[in-house]
Amino acid sequence: MVAAYKIRENLNKVAAEILGCKEDEVEILDAKAYSKNNPSKTVNFQELALQCYNIGLNPSCFGYFRAPKMVFDQENGQGEAYSNFTFAAHIVEIEVDIETGQIQVLKVTPVYDAGKAINPLLLKGQIEGAALQGMGYAIMEEIVYDGAVIMNPTFQDYHIPTSMDIPEIEPTLVEHRFRYGPFGAKGMGEAPLIPMASAIANAIYNAVGVRIKELPATPERVLAAIQKGRS
């Protein structure tokens, strides 16, 4: 972001000369630069970049950023381990067949504070994909070993969610700009994957009153837990 601002200053300087206006009057939008006071006069971005090259203005810049120093006590686990946290909550609605232990995830409502959502559609897509991956981790995916030999090395035996298993996923973004992030953004990445297993386990407990303490929560494990709970 620091480098981007420096480049923008250079672009504004050249655009102001071309448009005959002040640098702080320059607006760049939809691949065109124009003066806020005279929007009818424009210069396209290609011409602007070419003019920068012609006058020897560096078209690249460097930016440096150092996160604020954190204080963290490794012995007691207290303090601030990171300067940036993405906050989330997942609500999961499921159905459990008490005769077979089969679980069907019906709906997932993930709520995220990821700072400023620069690209909301892309962000929601990341949430949907990671939530589905987390669902697979929670109820389907398991590597089976016989000693050092993997017994289910292909997708014929190692089960992952398919298009038929996708529940309704309704992401919600709660935006709070992060002062140290680019344009106020935080990271997303793997964050939507992490809460899924816990949310599904809690939903199972809410539905049938048993705690699943081993993943994945396969029908066999769920049914065994239900039967143990009955006894």
- Is there a catalytic annotation at residue 190? yes
Instruction: Give the burial class of 175: count Cβ atoms within 10 A of its Cβ; 0-12 exposed, 13-18 middle, 19 or more buried.
Output: middle
Strand partners, 25: none
Contacts of residue 43, defined as CB under 8 A and 6 or more positions apart, other chains included, come to 15, 18, 19, 32, 33, 34
- How many other C-beta atoms are found inside a 10 Å radius of the C-beta of residue 124? 20
Q: Which residues contact 18 (CB under 8 A, 6 or more apart)?
A: 33, 43, 47, 48, 51
Cβ atoms of residues 133 and 197 within 8 Å: no
The backbone region for 45, taken as left when phi is positive above 0, alpha when psi lies in -120 to 50, beta otherwise, is alpha
Report the candidate in 146, 145, 144, 140 with the shortest Cα–Cα distance to residue 159: 140
Q: What is the DSSP code string of 9-71?
A: HHHHHHHHHHHTS-GGGEEEETTEEEETTEEEEEEEHHHHHHHHHHTT--S-------PPPP-
Catalytic residue among 23, 80, 190, 220: 190
The residues annotated as belonging to the active site are 190
